[in-house]
Amino acid sequence: MNFSIVVMGVAGCGKSTLAAAVAEAEGLPLVEGDDFHSAANRTKMSQGIALTDADRDGWLGVLVQQIQARPSGLVLTCSALKRSYRERLRSARPGLLFVFLQIDRDEALKRVAARAATHFYPTSLVDSQFATLESPVGEPGVLAVDAREPVQRLQPQVSAWLHKEVFV
């Protein structure tokens, strides 16, 4: 298979967990989008300061390069909260697919709080994620899934959809 997929959603929705399972199942490299944030962006977020479009600009540019550097496909984690961010990522590869992990605020807050000791992203920014989110539902090449479902159910659902999308 030759496809590229972005696993997206707000903080705490399970992007990394699902992306790792899909990458393993499909034999694709996993690229963790958070690994490419600048030190300045990480500092801002760890201090509870929401990133602006300008802050995300360089980061999205690096993610575009990551997509382009893997013509055989990849699984990328990226919040991709705004349509303009998704369009920028799509510019890197025609047919780029997105899996949107839908979650409500309370569940996202609970999950972000549970990982506070091991992740730089604070609970104080969860509301800003929801305020920024422009739902991708209805955009081409997007599968929306329930983030509350266990990864053991989500991964086969995503893999089946990916193979259907590639062969349509």
Domain boundaries defined on the chain? 4-167
Q: Which residues contact 46 (CB under 8 A, 6 or more apart)?
A: 120, 121, 122
Looking at residue 69, what is its pLDDT?
Answer: 96
CA dihedral 138, 102, 129, 45 (to 10 degrees): -130
Looking at residue 129, what is its pLDDT?
Answer: 86
E strand or H helix at 142, and its extent? strand 142-146
Looking at residue 114, what is its pLDDT?
Answer: 75
Helix, strand, or coil (residue 102): strand
Q: Mean pLDDT for each consecutive 10-residue tract of the chain (168 residues)?
A: 89 92 96 90 82 91 96 95 96 95 88 65 74 94 96 97 76
Single-letter amino acid code for the residue at 69:
A
pTM (predicted TM-score): 0.90
CA distance 44 to 59: 14
Looking at residue 167, what is its pLDDT?
Answer: 56
Q: Which of 79, 27, 30 is nearest to 55 (CA)?
A: 79
Note every long-range contact of 164-167, with CB atoms under 8 Å and residues 24 or more positions apart, other chains counting: 165/3, 165/97, 165/141, 166/1, 166/2, 166/3
CA distance 121 to 111: 11
If one looks up domain 4-167 in CATH, what number appears?
A: 3.40.50.300
Helix, strand, or coil (residue 8): strand
